[in-house]
Structures are given as C-alpha cells and as structure tokens.
Structure 1
C-alpha cells in the first residue's frame, strides 16, 4: 500500500540534465592527489580547481563564462610549496579565495580585476597570495569560510586541530582540539556552531567561541571517511559514512541527541565516499558519490529525508561543487547547479530544474537567497554577536534589476494561484488576486450543472412527444446501455 501513496511536493519532479560539450570546461589538469577533498569549488563568477602542477602546489581559477577548451598554458595561483588540498570562496566577496596545502599553510588570494585565461603572453603571469596564515604543524586538509561573519575562516589540519582565523588581521582567534584527524567540517547558518567528523569515528558540535564541544557522539562505525553538512537554518545536520559491513549510510542529527533521528539509513554497497550538499532554498540534500556518476537528492520533511530522484551518469566524478543560490538561472526554473569532474580533464555543469511552463517568476520555488552582505564584522563575531546575513529577493534577479535586499526572515508573497484558497488577498498584489477564487468558485460549476440538467430534461421530453418515429436512434442507444444485444444481431440491424 505504501507504494501507491504519492507525496505532494513542489520538487518531486526535479530532474538533472547535463550540459552540451561546448558549455563545459575541457583540457584541465585536475589534481590526482589521493586526499579526500572535493577538488573543485564554485561561486557565481569563478570555478577553482586543484591543479596537477609541478614545482610546488597550485590551483586554477576559471571564469564561468570562459567555457570550452582551456588554453594549454594558463595563469595559475602559485605560492604553496606542496600540493593544494582544498580551496573555498569567500561568501561575501566573489574575488577572494582561501587555500590549504600539504605545506601546512593557509593562503588568501584575490582574483585580479578583469582576470581571464585567454592572454596573448607566451607564459602567462601567475597570481600570488595576498596573505599567508601560518600556525598548523601538519598539512591543511580543509578550509571553510564562516557563512555569516565577514573574514572568519576555519582550517582543519593533520595536527588534529581546527583553527579559526580573522583573515583581515591574519591572526588565529580560536583553536578546537580533536583526538584524531578531522575529515570534514560544516558551519550552521548563523556561524556560531561548527560540526566536525574525525577519524576516531566521533561527531562533535562545537561552540566555537567557547572552544568547547556541546555535542559528542559515536558516528558511523565503518573505517572509511565520514562527511557532514549542516542543514542551513535548521537545528539539524546530516552525515554520510559507512557501516561495519562497508555499506554507505546517511544519518540525520540534532545537536545534543546521542543517537541519529531515525537511526542510520543504508544507501547501497558502493565503496566511494558520499559527498553531501545542502540547499536551504528547497530544503533538499544532494548526495554525490565519489567514484560513481550518480547524484541522489532528498527533500527534508518532518525530520525525515524523503527520496526525490537520482541523476545518473556513466561518467564517474572524483570531485563536485554546488553553486550558491544567488547564481542559479531563475529563468529556466533551475533550483541548483553542480559542477562535476570527469576523467581529471573535464568539468561538466549539471542543472537541476523544476519542469514548469510559466512566463512569470515562480516565487514558491525561489525563496530569497543569501546575498553578498555579511551579518556582522569579524570583531563583532569574536565578541559574541549572532545573526543571519540579509538576503536578496530572486524576483529582482529574474527581472534583471539590481538585487533587492530583504531581511533574513523575509517570506515572499505567494503567487495568485497559491493565494487563491486564502480568506484575504496577499498584500502588494492589488486587485487581481481577490478575483482569482471567484473564477474557480461555485457559480461556473452550478451553470454547468444547470445546463446539463436542462439538456437531459429536454431529451426525455422530446422522446415522449415524438414517440417511436422521431426518436428511433435515441431509443436504440438507451436499449444498448440497459440490455446489450449480441454482436451478430447488432451487425444485422
């Protein structure tokens, strides 16, 4: 019986579609380092790629509009003395990026004005870091910017610590000590809590400014890496990992609860790590398998992950990145866009779209997105301030005007179709909305019923008046309905 029930959801028919080759990025030298990282990061302007380069570590930055084959020689972001393991874009400045490397250093970079890969120089000039943060004694495997505070960066290293940095001053502000290697980390939306998974199979939620864990519990029991992602503005986070039998699992957690909500859910028996990504606009969780070409996506409803669908591809991915919501194509009803690596030489965008034929902005699937303005400065965050950054109304992006800033708790006005059942019309929509319920109300259906009853009465009246001569056809049709004749007799007649 459960299979017959269809759950109502705006995102139930979301589907992923690949991009034509001319709009992909080819001739790349993606790093072949075995460190468990996503290899690529993206924002609405640029794509960063861990590069396979000799003579120290480097990564490349590709402007998103420069699709197609990348030149053989391009300007690289050089400065590390060992392989670059991870990068992360500043959420409030699309031209600032941080990198972590095997040399134990964290570097801050700025993309030059008018940066392009297509230069006339025989040997393009490399880009150098604007700031160097030294403090880790082992390789830095992950870097992650705070999603609410300006210039606050977290870095996780092989010295079993997570350091917090104010990149404006170059100083380390906080230190989180772990018992083993940190495998992944994720901020909550206000940037006050940080969740980490580590090789000791423990999951910890840190009150960062107090440098103490407020939650610590056993995680996935398998020996392979575990990943975590905070679910935006919800007081929940998700983890992916492996069971003792090497089955891939997913789990939903609430800080303070020692056990996952609903237990550990088995996905499959594939050996690749699942890379989780959260979309706060649609309340959807995307799981991309490392080493396979599939991307599953789930909707978070009633403290459960409801499976929506799966994007399948014959081309496996080693790394993948998801674009911030302010960079999606609202004209095509695109709710998410991913960039996946293919064969270490190719990056392919994948667009996740809600199939609708509409000529107007779809406010129900495009709630406001986080913009470029932070909620607080670095010093205010250090002093204990909390808050969510302002958002931008995606309708202004749809109309092509300057992005309209709205409060963090802003709720968009529903479309007339969505507002029809309401008792009062939604504000700011004028007069058309109150008329919408009238068009779908009782009067039209009553007219239809009256017309039907009138025609039926006239039909019977004609039959009584005309007797058998004028209504022989009608009489035969009523006879067939009440007492079907044999096929042979009907043919003879």
Structure 2
C-alpha cells in the first residue's frame, strides 16, 4: 500500500503478488516502486498510477529489493543466494547476476554513492560489504546475531542495525561500530535521528521504544500494537516515527519535537 507519511491516509494499493511481500521501496523521486515477494518474483510499479510495469521472475523467494541512488538500477536478493542487478533503462535485458553470497539474503542497503552494497542474511550473523565495482565482498561487519534491519542516513554518515537483543550504531565511513544498546527482548528494527539525539527500537515485546542516544535512557514506551514490531523508522525531521507490526497495523507516533503545525499526526494513530 502507498500512504501519506504525515497522517497515514491511504493513497492506493499495488495489486498483483500471489505471496507475502517481504520488501517494498520507492525510488528517490517517488515515481517508481519495487516490491519483493515470496511468490518468487519482484515487481516494478508506476508509483503514480499504481500500474505494474514489470514482473521480474526469480527461482526462489525474494526477500529484498533496493533502488540505487546515483544510477537507474534496481537490485534484488533472497533465497537464491545471489544478487540480481537490473538496468531500469533496459528492463527487457537479462539482469546482471552476482554470485557468491554466503547465505540467503534478508536485508540490503546501498552505501557510499552506490559503490558499496550492505547485505544481511537469514541464517548467518554479520553484514557483508560488497564493492559493486568488483562484485566482491571486501569486508564483514561483525554482529552477534542475524541482522534483521539496516538503516543508512545522512549521506551515509550513520548506519543503524538490529540483531538479536542489540540496537547497533556504526560509523558510515569506517564501517566500525560506535555504540550498541542491549534490550531484554529480541530487537527486530531500530532507527536513529542524530539531529535530535534520539533512537527508536521495536521488536518482540510489541512496544515502540524511544531512547536518548547519549545516555541510553528510555524516554517513551508506546503501547498499542498487539504483535511483534517488525519495522520502525523516523520521519526525516524526527517529529514522528512509524512502527509496523505483525498485528496488521502501522502506527504513527508523535515525539516531543512535534510542533502544532504537524497537527495532522495523531499520537498512536
């Protein structure tokens, strides 16, 4: 579904997949959308009209898809243990296939002007760092458990990940961990707002937690979901954040930085 980010209003629905949709993304202009599904396909959509433009057939479940930022490219990955790179200007051509992934892919994120690609896995810990110029893994960012969420913000300066009971924060240039915070429950997703000095975490305890980054102190614990929180992300300005849950709902939570001008956002709506 496509929704208004400020108030959650429904805009439209992309219809066509015959299995669970594991990943959905917009390109940088919000003109195109891509989805990855358990039906062994990824799809490219016109984000304005909702029309399906292309079905990209795979031989197994597709877990992740991402548009490149600096070029007209789309990359997919999943249970095939390979990456498929599509040229959006030549969608009738076969994709460029990159072999050698250590395991089934769970998450992906482009980094450093699309020179690098970060990948996490279903059954293996760590994040593989691919040099897309050589199509080789050049580094592994070590983690204790399998990484379930990767966020890269502010032109790649900050990377936030979730694995096991940890929310981890990385230096985007050095690809080294700066800080981590442990929880008493499994963390599924985390998001950082460096300008506000806050981060949010969601997971198996079904709550949306807001923390102070400097001290790690919990500032808010928002209740409302009735299932694990699988994804959580700040709005660009940090005035709100959204959480998506296994209970079939997305909730938009207003932070204490929200102003009266943002009155469309309702706490817990």
User: Under TM normalisation by the shorter chain, which class is it?
Assistant: 0.7 to 0.9
- RMSD of aligned Cα (Å): 3.1
Q: Does 1:17 align with 2:9?
A: yes
Number of paired residues?
Answer: 257
Q: 1:288 to 1:211 in 2, by over 3 A?
A: closer
More helix by share: 1
More strand by share: 2
How far the C-alpha of 1:279 sits from its partner, in A, is 2.5
Residue by residue over 1:275-309, the C-alpha shift from the partner in whole angstroms, topping out at 9 and shown as x without a partner, is: 2232224743222334323432324529xxx9941
Q: Give, in whole Å, the separation in 2 of the partners of 1:298 and 1:177.
A: 34
Q: Does 1:76 align with 2:55?
A: yes
Q: Give, in whole Å, the separation in 1 of the partners of 2:172 and 2:140.
A: 8
Q: Where does 1:231-246 land on structure 2 (aligned, <5 Å)?
A: 231=193, 233-242=195-204, 246=205
The match for 1:490 is none
Q: Does 1:58 align with 2:41?
A: yes
Q: Give, in whole Å, the separation in 1 of the partners of 2:46 and 2:176.
A: 40
Q: Does 1:226 align with 2:188?
A: yes
Q: Give, in whole Å, the separation in 2 of the partners of 1:91 and 1:293.
A: 29
Q: 1:279 to 1:206 in 2, by over 3 A?
A: same
Q: Where does 1:297-312 land on structure 2 (aligned, <5 Å)?
A: 297-299=253-255, 301=257, 308-309=265-266
DSSP-derived class of the 2:19 partner? coil
* Contact 2:254–2:267 under 8 Å retained in 1: no
Q: Where does 1:248-397 land on structure 2 (aligned, <5 Å)?
A: 248-254=207-213, 257=215, 259-262=216-219, 265-281=221-237, 283-299=239-255, 301=257, 308-309=265-266
Q: Where does 1:35-114 land on structure 2 (aligned, <5 Å)?
A: 37=22, 39-43=23-27, 44-53=30-39, 57-67=40-50, 75-78=54-57, 80-93=58-71, 95-112=72-89
Residue by residue over 1:169-204, the C-alpha shift from the partner in whole angstroms, topping out at 9 and shown as x without a partner, is: 3233321111211111212314133221112x0222
- TM-score under structure 2 length normalisation: 0.79
Q: Give, in whole Å, the separation in 1 of the partners of 2:222 and 2:138.
A: 39
The match for 2:119 is 155
- What runs of 5+ residues in structure 2 fail to find an aligned partner? 1-5
* Contact 1:164–1:175 under 8 Å retained in 2: yes
- What runs of 5+ residues in structure 1 fail to find an aligned partner? 1-13, 116-124, 313-493
Q: Give, in whole Å, the separation in 1 of the partners of 2:113 and 2:198.
A: 20
The match for 1:31 is 19
**Which of 209, 217, 220 is 2:181 aligned to?**
217
State the structure with bigger RCO (CA 8 A, min sep 6), 1 or 2.
1
- TM-score under structure 1 length normalisation: 0.46
Q: Give, in whole Å, the separation in 1 of the partners of 2:166 and 2:9.
A: 37
Larger Rg: 1
Q: Give, in whole Å, the separation in 1 of the partners of 2:212 and 2:141.
A: 21
